[in-house]
Amino acid sequence: MTGDPLLSGVATVVVTRPANQAAALSDPLRAAGAPVLELPTLAIQPIELDPAQRQRVLDLDHYDFVICVSPNAAQLGLEALADYWPQWPVRQQWLAVGPATGAAMADWGLNLKVAQQGATSETLLDWPELQQLHQRRVLILRGEGGRETLGQTLRQRGARVDYLELYRRVCPDTDLTPLLRALDAGPVILTVTSGDGLRNLMTLAGPDLDRLRLCPLVVVSGRLAQFAREQGFADLWQARSPSAADMIQTIASIEKREP
């Protein structure tokens, strides 16, 4: 994207990803010419495994499928598992939701299948190997309190499903002053990639929430768009995926008003 003037002169783009993940979007945005404000509305807090979770780590070789639903789950989960398993069980299929998660798993020597750009947990449910699961065991690596659709559907297909919950999403102590200054200075485009991130942004905004509701908001799924609409955001734009390229293309469309 270096030298690409696609976003030259656009509104300030607010990146709300966790601080350690913001650069994957912020750097391409800046390279494309956009002014960027990093304003983390999520923080990832690793959690200590309880005895039941630790037993699932020890029983890794009992599972037919191991599914990672996010890059955080992949990174933290593989680090935890590798402490107990210097060599991976050979019989397992590892599955990743989306290329970012797949990239976090790529160098671990796994038998890995990756859902492509724009994929969700529901995408995996269309895969042939996950249709008939009688007496098969599945371990899902995720954050605390994640969505239940994937696990519930796999159980309906006969699988025994366990979770390894590795982190919780918390609201960081983010100073909103830079965002308020940006709003005073000119137009602002908000980007949000999760429901928790949007909830926390609204909490942080407090009495200034109505100002944010007037800004264009870029989301990455129909589910998130519906949630944002229910919260009073009307100028909604859905990117094809969370990738920087798709986010940039959507932001360019906002500037041209090409829904």
Residue 52 and residue 152 in one domain: yes
Helix (H) or strand (E) holding 219: strand 217-219
Residue 117 and residue 53 in one domain: yes
- Tell me the residue range of the domain where 33 lies: 12-42+173-256
Within 10 angstroms of residue 39's Cβ, the number of other Cβ atoms is 22
Residue 119 and residue 59 in one domain: yes
pLDDT at 5: 63
Residue 163 and residue 64 in one domain: yes
- CATH code for the domain in which residue 62 is found: 3.40.50.10090
What do you get for the CA distance between the two ends of the chain, in Å? 23
- Measure the CA–CA gap between 85 and 229, rounded to whole angstroms: 45
Along the 259 residues of the chain, how does pLDDT read in single tens digits?
444 467 777 799 999 999 988 999 999 999 999 999 999 999 999 999 999 999 999 999 999 999 999 999 999 999 999 999 999 998 899 999 988 899 999 999 999 999 876 667 778 888 999 999 999 999 999 999 878 889 999 999 999 999 999 999 999 999 999 999 999 999 999 999 999 999 999 999 999 999 999 999 999 988 899 999 999 999 999 998 888 999 999 999 997 765 4
Q: Read off the pTM.
A: 0.83
Residue 114 and residue 130 in one domain: yes
pLDDT at 4: 45
Residue 223 and residue 161 in one domain: no
SS3 for 31?
A: helix
In a domain, 3, yes or no: no
Burial of 34 (0-12, 13-18, 19+ CB in 10 A): buried
In a domain, 2, yes or no: no
